[in-house]
Amino acid sequence: MALRSFPKELGSMKMLEELWLGFTYDIRSPREPVGFHSFTSLSSLKNLNLSWREIEEENFSQNLDELSSLEELYLSGNHKLVKLPSSICHLSRLKRLEVNECPGLKRLCGLPSSIQVLKANDCISLEKIGDLSKEGDWLYKIWLSHNQKLLEDEENQRYLDKMLQLSFIKVVHLYLFNII
């Protein structure tokens, strides 16, 4: 039996800290998108996994700042996601963001300065990243593997060069070309 909708009571669980809804779908029916609108009252939520849920930008609430405790956000495998909502910058405690295998994702800009770990592998449409050396004061691990379009933009190249020169970055994975 598949979960078709989320119980209304879920939004009233004020002390809930982790919510993992990724990979929860019935293989016999199409995946249903789920919106953040249901979760904005979960002010204690620290970890939210909505991977492989067919999320689009319009599924996000415009007031993500209500998720004031959110530290980890997993959105990998959401093929319809083209860009993150601008309100993501209000997640002042967000430390980890994973958007791996989001082939429609074109932009990664306006991330909160609290971000420490960013994983955006296999986002084949990714064309634009923000200046992570400015946006990510605490950023120390970044994965941008198999995103060839990033190097087609000179501004992205400058941002990546600047990031590589800064000593606070401890781990960088930039496999931008497929080797056969």
The whole-number pLDDT of residue 35 equals 54
How would you classify the pairing of strands 18-20 and 117-119? unpaired
Which amino acid, residue 68? S
> Between 134 and 153, where is the model more confident?
153
Domains with residue ranges and CATH for the chain: 18-173 (3.80.10.10)
Residue 4 has pLDDT above 60, yes or no: no
pLDDT band at 24 (very low <50, low <70, confident <90, very high): low
The whole-number pLDDT of residue 32 equals 52
Q: What is the mean pLDDT of residues 144-171?
A: 79
Residue 8 has pLDDT above 50, yes or no: yes
Residue 116 has pLDDT above 80, yes or no: yes
Q: Which of 135, 122, 121 is nearest to 166 (CA)?
A: 135
pLDDT band at 6 (very low <50, low <70, confident <90, very high): low
Cα atoms in the Cβ-side hemisphere of radius 13 Å centred on 10 = 15
Q: What is the mean pLDDT of residues 126-137?
A: 81
DSSP collapsed to 3 states, 71-104: CEEECCCCCCCCECCHHHHHCCCCCEEECCCCCC
- The set of residues, in sequence order, having a beta carbon less than 8 Å from that of 61 and lying 6+ positions away, is 35, 36, 37, 39, 40, 87
Tell me the C-alpha distance between 4 and 31, whole Å. Answer: 9
Residue 162 has pLDDT above 50, yes or no: yes
The whole-number pLDDT of residue 117 equals 93
Residues 31-73 pLDDT 10s:
555 555 566 678 899 999 989 988 888 877 666 778 889 999 9
